[in-house]
């Protein structure tokens, strides 16, 4: 099918978001996941309404947790605390229904105030408050969400991430063991949406919501559907969807994926480029007592509703069988590896010696025989740019390697009947020395 025309409709959004992002990303490099940090580990969330945008032009009523007096956001603020902190979450409710928060994986959560609900105390509708306190005893990736009519309220957007940083090396490890060391970390909060439910709530027909006919047609990473996943964080174009997801690294570095199932469906999440190693689930290292020794190598990890998984991804480009930097030995093309170094062709940092100066194995077809992706640099080599036909490429100014990280339930790569979109983002490996715009 010719989706190019449809894609062209999306291109203004893509161009703006990606271009703005690439241009401005370096200015607000936090070096960590976007979220809320509090010196006292006390957070104030407000449940209120707002609208999210989807790349197909949709706009949907949501209920979400706002950060204090801020706008409704989907997902709710990522709460970042330190291991051992006594965490207090004060919830104000501006919705017309009672609302609450449960914290799966946290022990002895005490709720004060509000009114008793089925799972926990709730903040009454129309200005009620409730407060939750617990000790974040174990590091890891967690989720929080509404414990009140969760079948409706999580769908409406009342869900978020909780990150507990370990006592040991909290800036570079996910857990108290070196097996969880990372250079860059990114959140992958996966969810889906059935817009009919949102329309019914928006039109005052909440009683007609029927969860037995649930049929999602929109899929999100951190509350955004592709290509918005790749726009800058806190984009003014997406005032209620502040979190992006565009992982970046250099060869040999490690990315920590903090994956959360924030809806009701399972999602098989696939990393192009390499395997990842799942090191923890639900905030516990996969361990028999020695680090993440029970960690599981996978090219696809099933992200389970209400559950979390942490994985480490790395990539070196080794064993390709050709020099990924396109080095060649001009003295003698047959002298590769260490011999090529000896002939004066230096290795890039971390480059595989075995493939050094090995020639590219095939001849690529002529331009008119190929279709080029927007994220292709025009060259097969890392850090290099090549010729592209007019209007092709353009999203890869530094000659990086891009990889799609996406749900392998391919249906979920759509935005309400329009391909491509949904639960996908592009991971970028930049050549050594090229600054990362979203570290």
Our finding on whether 27 is near another protein (CB under 8 A) is no
Vertex 191: Cα angle to 242 and 267 (nearest 5): 135
**Which letter does DSSP use for residue 33 in this model?**
-
Nearer to another protein, 108 or 215 (CB): 215
Distance between CA atoms of 365 and 90, rounded to whole angstroms?
61
Quick check: 303 and 267 in contact, CB under 8 A? yes
Instruction: Pick the binder of another protein from 101, 189, 217, 233 (CB under 8 A).
Output: 217
SS3 158: coil
Count the alpha carbons within 13 Å of 301 in the hemisphere toward its beta carbon: 31
Quick check: 357 and 327 in contact, CB under 8 A? yes
Question: Omega before 324 cis (within 30°)?
Answer: no
Our finding on whether 213 is near another protein (CB under 8 A) is no
Nearer to another protein, 51 or 299 (CB): 299
Task: Show the tokens assigned to 272.
Answer: 């192009």
Site for another protein in 322-341 (CB under 8 A): 322, 324
Nearer to another protein, 208 or 297 (CB): 297
> In this chain, which stretch among 70-78, 136-144, 341-349, 416-424 interacts with another protein, using CB under 8 A?
416-424
Nearer to another protein, 19 or 298 (CB): 298
Instruction: Give residue 218's Cα distance to chain centre.
Output: 16
**Closest approach of another protein to the CB of residue 308, in Å:** 17
Instruction: Pick the binder of another protein from 60, 74, 145, 315 (CB under 8 A).
Output: 315
**Closest approach of another protein to the CB of residue 412, in Å:** 8
Nearer to another protein, 32 or 404 (CB): 404
Nearest CA to 156 among 111, 115, 105, 214? Answer: 214
Site for another protein in 395-414 (CB under 8 A): 401-404, 408-411, 413-414
Nearer to another protein, 154 or 423 (CB): 423
**Closest approach of another protein to the CB of residue 48, in Å:** 29
| Sign of the C-alpha dihedral computed for residues 4, 6, 10 and 11 taken in this order | positive
Nearer to another protein, 199 or 417 (CB): 417
Instruction: Pick the binder of another protein from 151, 210, 332, 417 (CB under 8 A).
Output: 417
Task: Show the tokens assigned to 27.
Answer: 């200015």
> In this chain, which stretch among 102-110, 158-166, 196-204, 364-372 interacts with another protein, using CB under 8 A?
364-372
**Closest approach of another protein to the CB of residue 173, in Å:** 16
x/- binding map, residues 274-313, to another protein, per CB under 8 A? Answer: xx------------x-xxxxxxxxxxx-x-----------
Quick check: 255 and 313 in contact, CB under 8 A? yes
Instruction: Pick the binder of another protein from 316, 337, 394, 434 (CB under 8 A).
Output: 316
Nearest CA to 245 among 184, 200, 304? Answer: 184
> In this chain, which stretch among 87-95, 115-123, 168-176, 266-274 interacts with another protein, using CB under 8 A?
266-274
Distance between CA atoms of 232 and 371, rounded to whole angstroms?
27
Pairing of strands 296-298, 300-303: unpaired
Number of residues that bind another protein (CB under 8 A): 67
x/- binding map, residues 164-203, to another protein, per CB under 8 A? Answer: ---------------x------------------------
Our finding on whether 374 is near another protein (CB under 8 A) is yes
Question: Which residues are CB-contacts of 39 (< 8 A; sequence separation ≥ 6)?
Answer: none
> In this chain, which stretch among 34-42, 104-112, 126-134, 270-278 interacts with another protein, using CB under 8 A?
270-278
**Closest approach of another protein to the CB of residue 139, in Å:** 20
Quick check: 405 and 303 in contact, CB under 8 A? no
Our finding on whether 1 is near another protein (CB under 8 A) is yes
Distance between CA atoms of 311 and 317, rounded to whole angstroms?
19
Nearest CA to 417 among 173, 215, 184? Answer: 215
Quick check: 322 and 359 in contact, CB under 8 A? yes
User: Each residue of 203-233: b (16+ CB within 10 Å) or e?
Assistant: eeeeeebeeeebebbbbbbbbbbbbbbbbbb
List residues binding another protein (CB under 8 A).
1-3, 179, 217, 266-268, 270, 272-275, 288, 290-300, 302, 315-322, 324, 361-365, 368-376, 380, 382, 401-404, 408-411, 413-414, 416-420, 426
């Amino acid at each position: 099918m010719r989706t190019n025309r449809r894609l062209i409709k999306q291109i203004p959004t893509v161009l703006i978001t990606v271009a703005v992002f690439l241009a401005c990303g370096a200015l607000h490099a936090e070096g960590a996941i976007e979220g809320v940090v509090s010196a006292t580990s006390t957070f104030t969330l407000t449940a209120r309404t707002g609208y999210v945008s989807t790349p197909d032009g949709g706009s949907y009523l949501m209920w979400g947790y706002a950060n204090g007096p801020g706008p409704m956001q989907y997902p709710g603020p990522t709460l970042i605390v330190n291991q051992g902190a006594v965490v207090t979450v004060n919830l104000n409710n501006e919705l017309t229904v009672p609302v609450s928060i449960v914290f799966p994986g946290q022990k002895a959560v005490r709720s004060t105030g509000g009114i008793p609900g089925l799972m926990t105390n709730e903040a009454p509708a129309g200005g009620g408050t409730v407060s939750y306190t617990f000790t974040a005893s174990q590091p890891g990736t967690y989720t929080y969400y509404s414990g009140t009519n969760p079948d409706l309220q999580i769908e409406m957007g009342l869900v978020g991430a909780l990150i507990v940083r370990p006592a040991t090396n909290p800036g570079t490890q996910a857990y108290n063991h070196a097996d969880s060391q990372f250079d860059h970390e990114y959140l992958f909060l996966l969810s889906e949406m059935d817009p009919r439910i949102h329309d019914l709530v928006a039109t005052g027909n909440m009683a007609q919501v029927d969860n037995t006919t649930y049929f999602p047609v929109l899929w999100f990473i951190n509350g955004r559907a592709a290509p918005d996943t790749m726009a800058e964080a806190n984009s003014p174009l997406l005032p209620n969807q502040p979190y992006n997801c565009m992982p970046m690294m250099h060869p040999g570095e490690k990315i920590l994926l903090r994956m959360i199932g924030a809806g009701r469906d399972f999602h098989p999440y696939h990393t192009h480029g390499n395997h990842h190693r799942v090191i923890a689930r639900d905030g516990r290292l996969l361990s028999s007592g020695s680090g993440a020794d029970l960690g599981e190598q996978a090219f696809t990890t099933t992200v389970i509703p209400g559950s979390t998984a942490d994985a480490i991804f790395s990539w070196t480009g080794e064993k390709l069988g050709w020099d990924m930097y396109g080095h060649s030995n001009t003295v003698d093309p047959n002298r590769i590896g260490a011999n090529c170094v000896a002939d004066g062709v230096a290795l890039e940092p971390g480059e595989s010696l075995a493939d050094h100066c090995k020639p590219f194995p095939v001849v690529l077809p002529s331009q008119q025989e190929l279709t080029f992706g927007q994220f292709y640099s025009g060259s097969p080599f890392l850090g290099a740019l090549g010729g592209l036909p007019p209007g092709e490429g353009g999203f890869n100014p530094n000659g990086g390697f891009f990889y799609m990280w996406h749900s392998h339930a391919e249906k979920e790569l759509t935005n309400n009947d329009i391909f491509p979109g949904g639960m996908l983002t592009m991971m970028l490996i930049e050549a050594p020395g090229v600054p990362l715009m979203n570290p």
